[in-house]
Chains A and B, each alone.
Chain A
Amino acid sequence: GEDVEQSLFLSVREGDSSVINCTYTDSSSTYLYWYKQEPGAGLQLLTYIFSNMDMKQDQRLTVLLNKKDKHLSLRIADTQTGDSAIYFCAETYTDRGSTLGRLYFGRGTQLTVWP
């Protein structure tokens, strides 16, 4: 559970949809998370998905999970300039079925939204 990969940059126009992709390696991950980080700030939890789910929708956010391919995506509908930030995918490290709480993060995807 130590290799979480994300593309580094994504640019979209305001009003379009954004799709941020992530691949992970630990098939025993219990939860997968999306965090948002604005410049100079900490991490804001956006949403998470339990590993036995395929999809989760929360207002403008849609998370899709493909466990077979270990692929996670975050779709932001009607992207706004305020959505410009770094988005991190993270998986929970599990050990013998118990969640230790350790999160493994990708390097983050810088989303830039143009007006």
Chain B
Amino acid sequence: ETGVTQSPTHLIKTRGQQVTLRCSSQSGHNTVSWYQQALGQGPQFIFQYYREEENGRGNFPPRFSGLQFPNYSSELNVNALELDDSALYLCASRSDSGTDTDTQYFGPGTRLTVL
């Protein structure tokens, strides 16, 4: 049990639609990262937020955007969905203080299917 939760667990959308995925981090974890895991692949870094600002981004287009809120919750938004966006989306949080700052704790993921 990592203390990181995600919703919904599964989602089906059609091409061109928009989707919002949600994550709730552990209390005190000011950094949240989002990853996309396509079938049969390892997770790919999308972006990272620290204290409500984006501070790192992987090779994903601008239609992938995010928000982080002061209550340790965050969102991943994807516009103009494409078939290749079908994947498991994972959020991970970590603390920026204490001795555990380099450990990321992952949520169970949201399985997105785009038809």
Contacts and interface: CB of A to CB of B under 8 A. Distances in A.
A42 B93 CA distance: 13
A-B residue pairs, 9 tightest by C-beta: A105-B42, A43-B106, A42-B108, A42-B106, A42-B109, A102-B45, A107-B42, A105-B43, A31-B102
B42 A101 contact: no
Interface residues of A, number: 25
B74 interface: no
Interface of B: 2, 6, 31, 33, 35, 40-45, 48, 55-56, 58, 90, 92, 94, 101-109, 111
Contacts of B41: 107-108
Nearest to A41: B108
A103 B37 CA distance: 13
Counting chain A CB atoms within 10 Å of each CB, the highest count among B35, B101, B102 belongs to B102
Contacts of B44: 105
Contacts, number: 65
A93 B58 CA distance: 11
A30 B101 CA distance: 12
A95 to B, nearest CB: 9
A45 B104 CA distance: 8
B51 to A, nearest CB: 13
Interface string A71-115: 000000000000000001010110000011111111110000000
Contact of A102 (B6, B42, B56): B56
Interface in A48-77: 48
B102 A99 contact: yes
A102 to B, nearest CB: 5
